[in-house]
A and B are shown apart, each in its own frame.
Chain A
């Protein structure tokens, strides 16, 4: 004992704030005034935000045309896989009572399509899709190869790509059908289009895909996805990229086209009668799915976010309710003291 005290005379613990647990600190207290103020302010801002959101959501115009029932014949045809090469199309006339101002977007909406299944989400090859190695199909099971030849693009996601063709026509002057001009590009994220998806670097696309086969469900190979725009082909095809960004829930809508605001459509879609011409390729009825086309305008907060507005309003209202009841409790307790 003596030895240690001689050799190290400083056995006394350091007198530092840290070691003595005396660090300068602020003791947080839930004081009544703070809590009540916080509730009041939160309630107020939630209510305000909710009303703003609801108002802006009200400005959105949306038309949804479910064509699962309407095109029942085609659906029945598609249920049999043997008929994959038989064309089938159907037309759906509909009316837009009020002009849709501004940018109009066309979505396809799928019901009951599980893009979020664990196996499904994994079934893709990012190495292939980024163009490094077009024959890289690791992880693409069960759509990796077809008779030994690698599939490009491989995997269950790519194979199940939505391939209906939807053409919107405007019934101008109730006699003339004008095809509404639509853009099929600029509908994917920039990072997806230019970073995540890249074509293999070859002079021409078909030779880049040499040694691979198209996915079994596809009618044309990847390099012929867009006959009109040659650069919108292969892995960088916008529709393909949109499809490859898998949805979180079994009911989802994906952007299909956006309105090209020219001619009659500079202000958006005028009111009047329209028709949809659908080339029906994508079977959904077998797993009780449904398909529809959605036409919609947007606001600053995106598409129809009625839920968000309602949720904010309700939260604000409940917070204020809580504020008043807590106030009452507090006041009675104070009195009792």
Chain B
């Protein structure tokens, strides 16, 4: 393995501020509290004792709990600049890679080697917490950092319409060549039959020696004339190097610019307009964070109307990463429901006043609780309630800091614990301080110091933690909190009645998506404890299987406990998340949650945001560790779904008979609602080439998919998988650096802005600060964007074909000589001036239904997903309409003009009058057509449409005026044409007839479609009746039933090892004297536990452990 050698290069004498970009490998940088880590650092020293430092890795892996890192002992003393300046160590380590949880390296310093591991590293993207400052040596910087290695490549994103356009442009180009060939052959034949004889009047050019060569030149001339059908103008530069004067735009019109088709330009303008609308939308403005939505790209808007899959991060996106003590059950009584004055359960929005905690000077004023009866219970001295809060204030691993008297700061390792301890604090059981051996609690005003005898630490298998304390009276008591599934089995039989009441409450909490913990205590007598403590010590000193032994010792004491109650913590969702998810689901969008967090927490959030419901037929959980296990689990899931749907089919054999044969192959049609939860390590196998399809099929058959413990790269792989096989538009939304890769991979990346990290926002295409804005972005902005873009493109092709094909028909009457029908100026201005603005106004402002309707009827979103509004079929319809128009546009004036004369006998059918007539009717027809297409007539639309017509006539008359002709006789040879031609009633009759014949079939067609096959947006617009029906159905779908299925609401984002850390006293700022006693005794085992934690938690399955505990 190649190695990297890093030595502390810069000689530092003083600290200086540098921007991130200047950070180089080998620099030593100082970080302060709450700062983002700028590069992958080797922690040298910190403000905390023993070179400890705390980081939050939510940005990196979505986990919410705090992690601890420690400097290696030799460097932890380098707390001062002067000492650091002398540091000249050398690190040899692995080359840059994307493994977030592994690091291996060696530090060479002062002639000795020190092994380095991930425990000593601060990775870029983490946030420093609870640590005043720290110094670190930069190991990897910039793109070499593990975070950036995980973020995947940046790809240029294009919309599916762009891709379709590329195909269409090729087709049109082929069509153009075909027309050129037809006309060239026509020219060759004509020149052979007629042209040679016509040479008396028009001899051939010297260069032209045969009809064939003339045809060849005519081909190129026609390619140039007809190029206006092709919506890119890249290749239209022939006139510069035209091979012969016979080619168009020869010497005659040197100054007339070739009309550049502004399609790509107009498309960009429209998208830009839509982006501005997103930026300006006040309904997507977050007042709290003062952040408006931001469209960071202007090229993807219409794809927002076609999204089929949403991949969402959890932490920070769905949740606020704030834990709130929401409810509790104490001795069979549930507190925390809100009641209004009449005693009914209050709905959201009509909240009564929160409880006043002013009696308690130490209360945290950010804490709110709504149920006054709990406070009452505390005040009346209910012993159960007191014991409940006492437990909360004692059984935890929180550190407190009291900067000023009465101003307490808790440093909690997980937000859950923080919430619990804060709740106890506000209800009068204030955890004030701790030493390795004591915990001081202010109980309703009086300070009581408990002797801390043991912390039975938390881990993912035990799913509980306990403390053993001796109260001032000398009684020893064990306090335990943990998962209901574990704890309820370890209770004393006497609590049976209480148990059932509490279980009811737990189910209720779980149904609401709250995270639950069960609290229990047990009195220990002195002798038992002494004896147990000895056994524990032995176990902890054991050389082999220390952990198992400890676990069994713990198991032994945590038994026959007395139930106290349960807590319910709300992992606070972002505003409106369940509603948004429900609405998006109704719009046929599938939502997958990809999170780095633990399975329990992820599932819990799945329930609380109503992705998972108790109504679901089954939630499959895939946790296999090997390829075979994963394959088996997926297969079982599929079979179950198929079985279920088969039974349904058999139950109702009448209608479903036909589709049964398909069912076996198409899993999409399964009956019942399923959900899939898959773990990161299983996902790694599922994403392998031979299993990815199986996985995808299974996942897509499920209503909800949750992937937990996934790495940033896996997130991208999942998105890529769906992109690859489903051919659907994907959207990824996230807030942290760990979401960058999936944001970049998905068709559309959305970043949650307004929070601390901006990595996700920087990688995103759209950014706003609330998940709930997603519904507006997709259902309103996306839908409109798609609609407008499709309408725009249809109209654009229509108008250009109508415009251009006239030349083709004229070719048959002018000897295929590449004569244009229109005046050069008209050709130039048609696309740029006469017809661009009305369609642009439609493309920017059009609305089919009001925005409220698109929220009310999420089904309106479906045409976009099915790509109904602009596809190859629609394209051909537009082209056909354009060609139809061009035929009428040419042949009606031809029919009229061929025989007619003006009312004064002079010629009507001269070339110039014909040109003006056709041009005028074309402008009028396309204006009427845009009027028909515009569904939403704002003043701007009126202005542009009428304005375009006015400008057309103004320019026409100006160009044909005497004044211009006098100045430039050769350039403006149409002099007098407008006033002479447009004064003729026959000309106007022709124009009117052409317009009527071109437009009426379109109106008839639309009317028939409307009456015979109306789509939903038509229906929404027209029928009130249908609307009411829909609404009822809507509500029906929204109702979330809560059946009494038993489900654990346990989820706790906590990490093993802190108990030991506290007992070791390492993280406490005590006088060295007080500490000495502990430090000598303590091993560095806590840090091993911390290290182990990663593999454990990755390995631990959810409900049932695959490593059974030793009894």
Contact = CB atoms under 8 A, between A and B. Distances in A.
A239 interface: no
A123 B907 contact: no
A329 B980 contact: no
B1004 A29 contact: no
A13 B200 CA distance: 73
Contact of A42 (B903, B975, B1000): B1000
A121 B819 contact: yes
A103 B903 CA distance: 11
Interface stretch (A31-39, A87-95, A262-270, A272-280): A31-39
Most chain A beta-carbon contacts within 10 A, residue among B201, B892, B931, B1007: B201
A118 to B, nearest CB: 4
Contacts of B348: none
Interface in A17-42: 19-21, 23-32, 35, 38-39, 42
A313 B979 CA distance: 28
Interface stretch (A65-73, A145-153, A168-176, A242-250): A242-250
A35 B171 CA distance: 36
Interface in B894-930: 894-915
A49 B1012 contact: no
Nearest to B994: A311
B1074 interface: no
B735 to A, nearest CB: 13
A227 interface: no
A134 interface: no
A315 B996 contact: yes
Contact of B986 (A122, A138, A301): A301
Interface residues of B, number: 99
A120 interface: yes
B200 A81 contact: yes
A114 interface: yes
A249 B815 CA distance: 10
Interface stretch (B274-282, B306-314, B488-496): B274-282
B669 interface: no
B990 interface: yes
A191 B962 contact: yes
A249 B909 contact: yes
Nearest to B905: A105
A32 B1011 contact: yes
A31 B817 CA distance: 47
Interface residues of A, number: 103
Interface in B874-905: 892, 894-905
A195 B962 contact: yes
Interface in A93-139: 103, 105, 107, 112, 114-123, 125-127, 129-130, 132, 138-139
Most chain A beta-carbon contacts within 10 A, residue among B817, B894, B980: B817
A308 B891 CA distance: 12
Given A30-B1003, A120-B201, A107 B281 contact: no
Contacts of A246: 910-911
A130 B969 CA distance: 8
A254 interface: yes
Contacts of B989: 49, 53, 301, 308, 312
Contact of B818 (A27, A39, A118, A187): A118
Contacts of B576: none
Contacts of A286: 197, 200
Contacts of A214: none
Interface string B839-866: 0000001010001000000000000000
Interface string A36-73: 00110010001001000100000000000000000000
Given A117-B817, A248-B910, A249-B894, A255 B899 contact: no
A206 interface: no
Interface string A211-255: 000000100000000000000000000000010011111111111
B292 interface: yes
Nearest to B197: A287
Interface string B173-201: 00000000000000000000010011011
Contacts of B900: 301-305, 307-308
Nearest to B904: A298
Given A13-B285, A117-B815, A322-B1004, A303 B280 contact: no
B1068 interface: no
A21 B845 contact: yes
Interface stretch (B509-517, B699-707, B933-941): B933-941
A160 B1003 contact: no
B243 interface: no
A251 B898 contact: yes
Nearest to A29: B1021
Most chain B beta-carbon contacts within 10 A, residue among A26, A122, A138, A302: A302
B963 to A, nearest CB: 10
B814 interface: yes
Given A13-B281, A242-B907, A287-B194, 10 more contacts: A21-B277, A25-B847, A46-B996, A132-B969, A156-B202, A196-B976, A249-B898, A250-B815, A255-B906, A287-B197
14 contacts: A19-B277, A26-B936, A32-B1011, A39-B1004, A117-B198, A125-B970, A126-B970, A130-B969, A138-B970, A247-B910, A249-B813, A288-B197, A304-B900, A319-B1000
Q: What are the 7 A-B residue pairs with the smallest beta carbon separation, nearest first?
A: A191-B976, A303-B901, A19-B280, A248-B914, A287-B197, A160-B201, A105-B905
